[in-house]
Each structure stands twice: as C-alpha cells, then as structure tokens.
C-alpha cells in the first residue's frame, strides 16, 4: 500500500489547516488547563481506615 502524499497535497493541507484552526479556537475560548506542575501548590493524598466526612478533614487542615 502506498500513500501518494504529493498527489493529494491539497487534502493534506486542508486537513492540517482545519486541525490548526480548531486548536487555536480551543486555546482562545477555553484557555489552558494547567495542572499542579505549572500552577504551583501541593497535592496531598490521605488514606483513611473508615469513612470520614469532608467537613472533618477541612476542620483539621484549616486549624493546622
């Protein structure tokens, strides 16, 4: 199987242009969604033996 890229160059240009335009629209409308790596901060994962209410965890972490 051969793929004649040069013969279909207009199709490839149209496909790549469409993808670039979609990407730019997405960037300008939604912006970037940076993870913790770029925004700074800390992720803390805690494992409990029994179920705990969120309010209890917040009380302990805010008071420390």
Report pLDDT for 46.
84
Report pLDDT for 64.
63
| Residue 53 belongs to some domain of the structure | yes
Report pLDDT for 21.
98
Asked if 18 and 11 touch (Cβ cutoff 8 Å), the reply is: no
Angstrom distance (rounded) from CA 6 to CA 36: 43
pLDDT tens digit at each of 64 positions of the chain: 777 878 889 999 999 999 999 999 999 999 888 887 788 878 888 899 999 999 988 888 887 6
Reported in sequence order, the residue ranges of the chain that DSSP labels E, i.e. its strands, are none
Cβ-based neighbour number of residue 10 at 10 Å: 8
pTM of the model: 0.51
| Residue 36 belongs to some domain of the structure | yes
Asked if 36 and 43 touch (Cβ cutoff 8 Å), the reply is: yes
Per the structure, the complete domain to which residue 59 belongs is given by: 9-63
| Residue 3 belongs to some domain of the structure | no
Q: Please tell me the total count of domains within the chain.
A: 1
| Residue 1 belongs to some domain of the structure | no
| Residue 2 belongs to some domain of the structure | no
């Amino acid at each position: 199987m051969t793929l004649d890229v040069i013969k279909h160059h207009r199709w490839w240009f149209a496909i790549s242009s469409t993808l670039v335009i979609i990407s730019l629209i997405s960037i300008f409308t939604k912006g970037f969604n940076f993870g913790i790596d770029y925004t700074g901060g800390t992720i803390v994962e805690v494992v409990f033996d029994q179920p705990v209410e969120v309010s209890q965890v917040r009380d302990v972490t805010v008071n420390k």
